[in-house]
Each structure stands twice: as structure tokens, then as C-alpha cells.
Amino acid sequence: MSHKKINIEEVASTAGVSTTTVSRVINAVSTVSEENRQRVLSAIKKLKYHPNPSAQRLAAGKTNTIGVIIPRFEGIFQSYYALEVLKGVGMAAERARCDLLLHITDGKTFVNPSSVDGVLFIDVDGEEELIDRVLEESLPVVVLNHYLEDLPVSCVAVDNKTAAQMVVDYLVRLGHRDIATVTGDLRTQAGLNRLDGFVKAMKARELPLVDAFIQHGDFSLPSARTAAERLFALKNRPTAVFVASDDMALEVITVAVAKGLRVPEDLSVVGFDDNPVAAHSRVPLTTVRQPLSEMGRTGLELLRQRMDGKKHAPNKLLLPTQLVERQSCRQTWLER
């Protein structure tokens, strides 16, 4: 059996007041007289009226909704990175009892500012203009996975430079000198910082920086395969490779094995992410664990503080990483 849904007009008619008065009673506005307030409450009880939560929030000037903006890229919903960050965001949102509005953008499209109380960017690969739009709307904003020094916004990122330096230190302790790298997408801050940390660490230890040992990838498997083919075609190939993501690192291992190289006996490989598949691959992968879920959780919690009106200087956080040792690296002799 279907029941007719009672609307605010019927409540107003039963109480003998205007719809504005009913709305003010529902939203606890203090300017309503006690007589009218009681008449409205009595009508609500009699009619069994249930206010629309969305309408209540809009009437109060708040939606209790956070816009989550993520740059569009191929395989986004199969991406360990994206899913882990969103998991952290989602868990924090559940605890804060707020709604999420996910918007995947090409850098041109954006959410309706009136539909959200704050905006959380999951990286800003080409979306800097969208941040300006948020600031113009005076909406609270937090950026993840991109450290912004110049803009007056909070950000939570991973310390990619230190992580890359940690990898070089680890490989040097194992005796490696001829170390190559396959970069991530250098249009992203993460890709740039991992390369920058690698280069600085190699220079600091006075290790050879061979141009052919720096192969540019874009976080995709085809780019990793191309880079690996080039590295293994060299007359003097590297003894170790630092790869900017686990997916690419596993592809490098696949190419190495196909060419008759043994991992780790002939080649040591280090990845980045600590994707669960890394621990269960044909050669369990040594990698850098980055706190993706924690980054998402922390970012949303900072944004909620902003939305709740807590005034303080923008938080700019760099989260530490951890080297996870498995079986894809081994000690080598310096003489070849």
C-alpha cells in the first residue's frame, strides 16, 4: 500500500501558519513565537511529517557534503593508489557523518560550488585553475598528494624525495653502483620528486649518473616495458633498477626474465607503492610503502576542521614512507 507523502504546505495549512514559519520551526530559528512553534509541532506530529534532510541543510546554508575531485586517468577504478586514498577518505567521512560527491575531472569540469561545503583534491595534475575557483568561492579546500608551498591551502603529501634517497641508500649498502631508474609521469609532482630524490642521492654518493640509466615512464605498463627493453639492450646494463611504481616494477621484472636475466641474482629491482600484488608476484618485490589511506583520512579530517570554522594557518604535511624488503634485491660485488 502506498502512502501519500506529506509536504510542508500541508503542515502549514494544518497549523494555520505560513510555510516560512514551518521552515523556521524545523530549522530551530529563534524568531518564531512560542505559540506558532507549538502549533507547527502539533501539526507535524498529527500528520507524521518527516522533514527532508537535504532541504534542511540547504535552508541552513550547509549541505554537509564534500566534493572529492580526482584527475582523470586510464584505469582509475583499478588503481591501487586511487582506491587506497578513497578508502581513507571514505572511512573518515563515515566517522564525520558527512556525504561525499566524487567528481572525476579533465581539468575543465568542476562540481557546483553550492552543492558542497568543502573540496578535497586528490592531486592537482593540471587542475591548478580549479583550486583558484574554489578559493574565489571561499570554500574550505585541502589538496592531497601535492605539496603546495605558495597557495594558502592545506595539503597532505608523501615525502617522495626522501623515499627515493632511501632506496638509493639501500641499494648502495648492498654494493650496487650502476643503478638505473624508470620514472613515473613527470607531469605529476610525485613523479618529479621521485626522480629528483634519486638524482640527488646518486650525486651525493658520487655515483655515476648515466643518461641511458634514466628512463622516462608514465606509470603505465607499456612505458615500463619500453624502458626495460632499452635498459637491457645496453652493453653495460645496470645491476639495480629503482622503478617509480610497483606495477611498472613488476613489468620490468617480466621483461628481465624474458631476456634470461635472474632477479635478484643478475638484477635487483625496487618498486614504489606496496601494492598487495607486489608481495605475491613471481619474485616478491622490495618496495616503498606509502601511507595512501592515512593521507586520505588526514586530508578529510583537516577539511572538516576548516568546514567547522576552526581558524588556523594552512596545514602542510609530508607523510613518511617505509622501505619493505622482500626477495627482489640482493647484495652484489662491486667488480663486474
User: Which residues touch 4 (CB under 8 Å, ≥6 apart)?
Assistant: none
Q: Residue length, the chain?
A: 336
Asked whether the predicted pLDDT for residue 156 surpasses 90, the reply is yes
Determine whether 90 is exposed, middle or buried from the number of CB atoms within 10 Å of its CB (0-12, 13-18, 19+).
middle
Chain-wide mean pLDDT for the chain? 89
Sole residue written with cell 584527475: 71
Please give the grid coordinates belonging to residue 73. Answer: 586517468
Looking at CATH, the fold of the domain delimited by 160-290 is given as Rossmann fold (3.40.50)
Facing residues of 71 across strands?
105
All three cell numbers of 262, joined, read 635472474
The mean pLDDT value for 83-87 works out to 94
Lowest mean pLDDT among 4-8, 81-85, 155-159, 260-264: 4-8
Q: Are 148 and 155 in contact (CB under 8 A)?
A: yes
Same fold, 8-59 and 160-290: no
Contact 167/198 with Cβ under 8 angstroms? yes
Q: At the top level of CATH, which class does the domain 8-59 belong to? A: mainly alpha
Q: Report pLDDT for 268.
A: 98
Instruction: Select from 248, 307, 269, 253 the least CA-distant residue to 116.
Output: 307
Superfamily of domain 65-159+292-320: Response regulator (3.40.50.2300)
Task: Report domain extents, the chain.
Answer: 8-59, 65-159+292-320, 160-290
> What pLDDT sits at residue 59?
52
Q: What are phi and psi of 64, to 5 degrees?
A: 60, 30
Whole-angstrom CA distances from 104 to 9, 81, 162, 283, 315 are 38, 15, 30, 35, 25
C-alpha distances out from residue 270 to 153, 244, 262, Å: 34, 9, 14
273 phi, psi to nearest 5 deg:
140, -45
What pLDDT sits at residue 336? 42
What is the predicted pLDDT for the residue at 110?
A: 78
Query: What integer is the mean pLDDT of 226-255?
Result: 97
Residue 191 scores a pLDDT above 60: yes
- The pLDDT of residue 52 is 61
pLDDT at 51 over 60: yes
Give pLDDT tens digits for 55-84.
554 555 567 899 999 988 777 777 888 899
Could you tell me which of 249, 195, 290 has the C-alpha nearest to residue 240? 249
Residue 214 has pLDDT above 70, yes or no: yes
Identify which has the larger pLDDT, 137 or 43: 43
pTM here? 0.79
> What's the grid cell of residue 335?
667488480
